[in-house]
Amino acid sequence: MGGFAAGGAAMTPDMFIHIGAYEVLFLLALGFFGGMLSGFIGSGGAFVLTPGMMSIGVPGPIAVASNMCHKFPKAMIGAWRRKKVGHLDVKLAILMAVSAIFGVQVGIQVQKYILETLGVTGTNLYVSIAFLVILPTVAALCLRDVLKSRKYGIEDTEPKLAIKLEQKFRLPPMIEFKVAGRRQSLWLTIPTGFATGFLAATIAVGGFIGVPSMIYIIGAPSTVASGTELGVAFVMGSTGTWTWTYLLGAVDFRLTTLILAASLIGVQIGAVGTTYVRPYFIKLAMAVVMILVTISRACAVPGYLQKLGWISLDPVLVETLNSLVFPIMILAMVSVTPIVLVPMMNVRKMLARMGVLDKAVVVAEHEKGGLIKRMILFGVLTAINYYLLFRDPDAWPNFITSIPHADPVTAIILTTGVVFVAIYWSFIHGSFAHNLLDFIKITALRDDLAKKLSTEGYEGLKAWAASVKGETSTSQ
């Protein structure tokens, strides 16, 4: 026996669900909508993905661990996209990530303790209760800001707390965050980073704390906070995946890759979508989905309490509530689509009607012929990868659950291999997704136009188009 997973806390192969056609389709849909939301709001989308996996029978620890494994390579792709459009503050991301790493390690130990004490049902209850506390609180803050922004016709609300902290909390060292446009004390990033990592490890929703804290405490704009969180998520997710694998053997790479298959497309659409909207739309998307997921998890809690013997309820009532968990999760998944895609489609239609769409969007990195060749190459490699993983349905559960019981050196090598396989998988499939989106011309708005749209709305869009037309006619 090696590693730290003694005392029966490690997963066993029978805890990993059977994946049939129904599960495949659900996980692909979950990945696409969760990825779109993730790219749009900068969170890993775990408040959809973790409960979504749990709704088809995945135990809480496996859902959290598998989501962390899916989260960090996807965050790597999303962060790269967001950095290209100027929405990632690298310095802020690094400082947040350092303290988040410690939060991740503490959070995993908490989950391990609950698993040992109350079993899988206890961890499911803990995850659900945490959602019920955090989600409505953050949703209320977001909705408040959305209503203010719409009422006063501004791009986003000014974070008053962050301004006060910038003026009065000046404990050295003071750090200038150029992309975020703030100068704050380093000591503000430490507790927020730790809390982000702790929640990411225990319920896989660190972005719920990370994004709001960067908005309301650091004072970063919504777009920068959401983009920077993707950079933090990469660090948290990679270290968390390593620890979940080494200690508990809880990562189900089958779930991870099925979600990645669609989420690596969705996350890039979501990231691109941020350039087509005013910043408060990001908060609107967060609030709507959070409220629906809260309702879904609330329906699941009575069943967990009854299983633990803590309450006694009419079985018909418990069954009725459990039957609502899944359809409400579906509604939460689908609700993000109009928030992201409708503004994007409207802006692109307006630009097309004005004859400036080609000049308004970022040009694809490769010519059409090159895009097709790259799609074929990375598409074939992706297909081979999925075939090798799924040809034996028992291979992965048996492999991953053996790691905590291997000798320490072997366990470290295998665990590190899992992390690198996740990165490799995301690079291959992410390259396919990136070239596919470039081929169908789903690309970001130019930075100058995106900023004008953000500050002035559709009137700014029209003014930009008029100036481009004027320059074209003058040059002719």
Cβ atoms of residues 55 and 331 within 8 Å = no
- Average pLDDT for 409-438: 88
Residue with tokens 């969170």: 43
- Average pLDDT for 196-206: 74
**Alpha carbons 326 and 300: distance in angstroms, whole number:** 10
Range in 199-208, 319-328, 367-376, 431-440 the model is least confident about: 199-208
What is the average pLDDT value for the chain, to the nearest integer? 83
Print burial letters for 328-340: b (CB count within 10 Å at least 16), e (below 16).
bbbebbebbeebb
Q: Could you report the per-residue pLDDT of 315-354, keeping only the tens digit for each?
A: 999 999 999 988 888 888 778 778 778 888 888 888 888 8
Cβ atoms of residues 58 and 197 within 8 Å = no
Dihedral sign from CA coordinates of 427, 210, 83, 346:
positive
Most confident of 38-52, 273-287, 390-404: 390-404
Give the distance, in angstroms, between the CA of residue 425 and the centroid of all CA atoms in the same chain: 17
Instruction: Residue 226: name the closest of 176, 181, 276, 286 by CA.
Output: 286
pLDDT of residue 2: 34
Cβ atoms of residues 261 and 19 within 8 Å = no
> In the chain, pLDDT over 70 holds for what percent of residues?
90
Residue 92 has pLDDT above 50, yes or no: yes
**If pLDDT is split at 50, 70 and 90, which confidence band does 396 have?**
very high
275's tokens: 């350039």
Cβ atoms of residues 258 and 24 within 8 Å = yes
pLDDT of residue 301: 94
Give the distance, in angstroms, between the CA of residue 239 and the centroid of all CA atoms in the same chain: 16
pLDDT of residue 7: 35
161's tokens: 């707390």
Report the predicted TM-score, pTM, of the whole model to 2 decimal places: 0.72
Q: Which helix (H) or strand (E) is 387 found in, with range?
A: helix 368-390
246's tokens: 């080494």
Other beta carbons within 10 Å of 248: 25
Other beta carbons within 10 Å of 33: 27
Cβ atoms of residues 432 and 375 within 8 Å = yes
Residue 159 has pLDDT above 90, yes or no: no
**If pLDDT is split at 50, 70 and 90, which confidence band does 305 have?**
very high
Instruction: Residue 5: name the closest of 249, 355, 276 by CA.
Output: 249
Other beta carbons within 10 Å of 446: 18
Residue 324 sits at φ, ψ, to 5 deg, of: -90, -20
Residue 121 has pLDDT above 60, yes or no: yes
